[in-house]
Structure 1
Amino acid sequence: MSDCGSVPPSGHGLLRAVGRWQILGLSINSVVGSGVYLLPATAFALLGPFSVWGVLLAGATVGLLVLCYAKAASYFEQQGGSALYAREAFGPFAGFQVGWTIWLTRVATAASLSNGLADAVARFWPAAGSGGGRIAVVAGSLLLLTAINIVGVRQAARLSLALVFGKLLPLALFVCIGVFHVDWELAFGASASAAPDLRHTGQAALLLLFAYAGFENLSVAAGEYHNPRRNVPFALVAMIVLVTVLYAAVQLVAQGTLPGLAGSSTPLADAAATFGGEGLALLLTAGAALSILGTSNATLLLGPRFLHTLAVDGYGPRVLARVHPRFRTPAIAIAVQCALALALALSGSFVQLALLSMVTRLLAYITTSAGVLVLHRRHGDAPGSWRLPGGPLIPSAALALSLALLLSASAAHLIAVGIAIGIGSVIYRFPRRER
C-alpha cells in the first residue's frame, strides 16, 4: 500500500498473469469510448476540414505521453501508475495529489459519459435530449452501473469484457463501408480556404485528447500483469498506433459523408444513415451506447478504489474505508462517487465535463513526463527498463505540450482544479487520527 494513499488495491487478483495481447486488449478498451462516437462533430466545428489532421496530430501528441508512460512503467513492477511515478520522483505529497486528482478525474469522466449517453440515444429517443428523459438516462445509467459495481468486481469486469465487442464492431463496419462513399471534396475542400480559428485550437486539442484519454489507466494494475516491465510498454505503444489509425479513419468517413457534420449531436449515426440507411445508424447508436457504458463502467470500477485507499491510509472519513460484508466491495466509496458524478452530470454538458476531466488529467501527464526526466537521471536505463528514443527529448516535449494544453484551458476550469488541489492539500495535511 502506498504511504501517500494514492495507489488503489489490486482488484482481488482478477487480472493476475494477464499476458501481452490481453494487456493490449485492455489498453484499447480503456481508450476507445465515447470520444470517437461523439467528438467528430465538435472537432469539425472547431477545425473544419483540418479535423483529420487534428486527429492525427492529437495521436502524435498522445504518443509522446504514451512513450513517457511506457518508460516509467518499465522501472516498476508494482501497481500505482501516475501516482506511483509522482511519488517516486517527487515524494509522498506529489503522489497523494496525483492520486487525489485522478479520482476527481474519474468523477468528471463518469459525469461526462452519462451526458454523452443521453446525447447518443437521443437520435432514436428524442426525449433523452432534454428534460425528464435526459435525467432518466443520466441518472439511470449511473445508478445501474453503481449497483453492478457494488454487487461485485467480477460482475463489473465481465460486463466490461462483454462490451468490448459491442464498441468495436460498429466502428469497423462504419469505416469499411463508409470509405467507399467518401466525397473527397466534402471531406477536405468545403472550407479549405478558411484556416481554423486559433482561439479554438486549445479547446479542440483538449477535446481530441479526451478521445485518447484512458491509456494512463493501464499501469495502475501493473503488479498483476505478466512481465509488466516489458508488456506494458509494448501494449501502450501498439495501442496508440492502432487507435490513432482508427480515429483518423472514422473522422475521415464522418466528414466525407455527412454534410453539416458540425451541427450533428450524433455524428457517426447520422453519417452512417447517409450511406447505410437507418439500420446502420441504429447499429452505430447501439455501438455508441455500449461504448459509453463500457468506459463508464470501467470508471466506476476503478475510481472508487482510489477513494477507498485514501480512506484506508487515513485520509478522509473512516466510513469510506469500509468494505461491504457480503459483496467485499468498497460500497460506500462507490456510492459516494456515483452521487458526486450524478450531481456534476446534471449541472453540465458532455463537452464541458469532458474538458474538465481533461484539465484534471493533465496534472497526471505533467508529473509523469517530468517524473521520467527525474527517474532517468536517477537510475539511467536500468537493466530491463525500456530504452526511450532520444533520451530526455521526448519527455521534455511531452512536458512542454502538457503545460501548454493546461494553460489553454478556460479560467473556470483552472480555478476548479486549483480549488481541488487546495482541498487535497488540506486532506493531506490533516490525516484522520485513529483511536
Structure 2
Amino acid sequence: MRRAVGRWQLYGLSINDVIGSGIYLLPAAAALLLGLMSLWAVLLAGVAVSLLVLCYAQAASYFDQPGGGYLYAREAFGPFVGFEVGWMLLLTRIASAAALSNGLAEAVTHFWPHAASGGMRIAIITGSLGLLVGINVLGVRAAARTGVVLSIAKVVPLLLFVGIGAWYVDMSVASPLATPPSTRALGEAALLLLFAYAGFENLPAAAGEYRNPRRDVPFAMLSMIATVTAIYVAVQWVALGTLPGLAQAQTPLAEAAARFGGGWLALVLTVGAAVSILGTNSNTIMLGPRYLHALAADGYGPRALAGIHPRLHTPVAAIVTVGVLSLALALSGSFVQLALLSVIARLCTYIVTAGSVVVLRRTHEQREGALRLPGGALIPVLAALLAVALLASASWRNLLAGAIALLVGAVVYRFRRQPELPQH
C-alpha cells in the first residue's frame, strides 16, 4: 500500500476520531446522572483515558504494520488472543458506526423535527453511511483529507460556543462542588463519558498507510488527548452555566447556544453537531475495515475480504461489508444502546492492549525511536485496572452481550483458512 498520510494529517484524524457525537449529545446525559459533578467527571475521564492513550502510543512506537490492538495482542499473547481482540475491535467499529448514524439523525432534530423518526431518519442514516463508504473506497488519502477538513469544521463551532458562552456563564451554577452521586449513576456516566473520549485506538489500525507510523502515531495520539480534554471540559462548563435545564435537553449545545447567542449560533452548533458526527463516522468507516482486512489476511473470514483494489489501493470488499453491517445495526437500535454496546467491546480490547504493553516493552523498548513511559509497567497496569473497573460497572445485560460476542469469535477462530501471503 502507498504511505500517504503525514504527522499533522494524523493529528487531524485523531481529533476527528474522538470529537464526535459525544460532546454534542452526552453533556445532558452526564448532567442528568451527575448534576454539577459532571464537570469534574469530564475532566477526570480525560485524565483516566490518557492512561490508555499512553499505552497505545507506546505500543504504536514499536510497529509500522497495520492492525493496532489486534497486532499488539497477537505479538504479545499469540494468535487466539490477538484474534479475539481484532474481533472485538471490528464489532466496536460496526456498533460505533451504527450509533453515530443514529446520533446524526438525533442531532439535526433541533431544526428538523422530522428527522426524529420514519423515512427521513432512515434516509439520513442510509445516505450518510453510503457517502462515507464511497469516499473511503476511493482511497486513504481522500478519506484522510476529508477527515482533516471535517476536524476543522467540527472544532470551530465548539470554540465559538466556548468563546461566546464564557461571558454568560452563571458561576454559581457552574461550580463543580456538589453532592457526590450514587455509585450506580457514577458507573453509568463513566461508560457514557468513555464513549465520548473513545476512538483513539483506531489510529494505529492503518499504520501501514502512514509515512512514519512509529514516530507520528504516538505524537498524534498524545497531542489529541490534551486538546480534546481541554475542549470537553470547557464545553461542559459553558453548558452547565448557561442552560438551567441541561439534564433534560435533547440537543444541549444548540439549546444553550440559542439562549446566549440567538438563533444563528444555535444553527451553527446544529450544523457543527452534524459535521462532527459525520466526521467521526468517516474515520470509523476508514479504519474499521482495516481490522476486517487484517483478520481476513490472517485467514479469518472469506478470502475476498483480504483483497486490495489494484488501482484504488483500498480494501474495497472490507469497506463495503462494514458499511452494510453498520447500516443493518443502525436501523435496529438507538444511539445510547449502540454506544454502550461499543463501549463494552472497547473495554475488552483496552484491557488486553494494556497487558500487551507490559509484555512487548521487554523485547521492543530498546528499539531506536521507541516511546519509553515513566514508571516502567506502572501506567499499563493502572490503565488495565481502570478498564476492568469500568467493565465491572456495566449492566449484566451489556456484559452478557460482550461474553456472547467473545464466544462467537472463538467459533470463527476455529475455522481459520490459510493466511494470505504478504503483499508488496
- TM above 0.5, yes or no, is yes
Task: Tell me the secondary structure at the aligned position of residue 185 of structure 1.
Answer: coil
Report the equivalent of 1:59.
Answer: 46
Match of 2:152 among 140, 165, 172: 165
Question: Cα–Cα, structure 1 residues 166 and 254, in superposed 2: closer, same or farther, change >3 Å?
Answer: same
| Equivalent runs, 1:145-294 vs 2, <5 Å | 145-188=132-175, 194-225=179-210, 227-294=212-279
Q: Pick from 365, 368, 373: which aligns with 1:388? A: 373
> Which structure 2 residues correspond to residues 70-81 of structure 1 after superposition, within 5 A?
70-81=57-68
Tell me by how many angstroms 1:33 deviates. Answer: 1.4
What is the CA-CA distance between 1:224 and the residue it aligns to? 4.6
Tell me how far apart the structure 2 counterparts of residues 375 and 123 of structure 1 sit (CA, whole Å).
48
With structure 1 as the length reference, what TM-score do the two structures score? 0.90
Q: Please say if residues 114 and 120 of structure 2, whose CA atoms lie closer than 8 Å, have aligned partners that are also in contact.
A: yes
Partner of 1:432: helix, strand, or coil? Answer: coil
Q: What is the distance in 2 between the residues matched to 1:155 and 1:224?
A: 12
Instruction: Determine whether 1:36 maps to 2:14.
Output: no
Deviation at 1:408, TM superposition (A): 1.4
Compute the TM-score of the two structures, normalised by the length of structure 2: 0.92
Match of 1:121 among 108, 113, 123: 108
Kindly indicate whether the alpha-carbon contact (under 8 Å) linking 2:3 and 2:210 is maintained by their aligned counterparts in 1: no
SS at the partner of 2:173? helix
Q: 1:362 to 1:193 in 2, by over 3 A?
A: closer
The answer for unaligned runs of 5 or more in structure 2 is 420-424
SS in 2 for 1:116: helix
| Alpha-carbon distance in structure 2 between the residues aligned to 1:297 and 1:408 | 30
Q: Which of these residues, 120, 123, 130, is aligned with residue 136 of structure 1?
A: 123
Q: Is 2:417 the counterpart of 1:432?
A: yes
Secondary structure at the counterpart of residue 75 of structure 1: coil
Specify the alignment match of 1:3 in structure 2.
none
Displacement after TM superposition at 1:410 (Å): 1.8
Task: Identify the match of residue 370 of structure 1 among 352, 355, 371.
Answer: 355
Change (3 A) 1:271 1:196: same
The whole-number CA distance in structure 1 between the counterparts of 2:76 and 2:418 is 28
Report SS of the residue matched to 2:371. Answer: coil
Separation (CA, whole Å) in 2 of partners of 1:26 and 1:338: 19
The code of the aligned residue for 2:277 comes to: I
**CA RMSD of the aligned region, Å?**
2.2
Q: Post-superposition shift, 1:24?
A: 2.7
**Superposed CA offset, 1:316-337 (max 9, x none):** 1234345557755433332322
Q: Residue 400 of structure 2 corresponds to which residue in structure 1?
A: 415
TM-superposed CA distance for 1:65, in Å, is 0.8
SS in 1 for 2:175: helix
Structure 1, unmatched stretches of 5+, are: 1-9
- Sequence identity (%): 61
**Which string of whole-angstrom CA distances, capped at 9 and with x for unpartnered residues, describes residues 188-241 of structure 1?**
38xx65431211211111111111111112222334545544443333222211
1:14 alignment partner in structure 2: 4
Corresponding residue for 2:422?
none
Of 424-433 and 90-99, the range deviating more from structure 2: 424-433
Higher mean displacement: 425-434 or 271-280:
425-434
The aligned length equals 419
Q: Structure 1 68/256 Cα, relative in aligned 2: closer, same or farther at 3 Å?
A: same
**In the superposition, relative to structure 1, how do residues 273 and 418 fare at CA in structure 2: closer, same or farther (>3 Å)?**
same
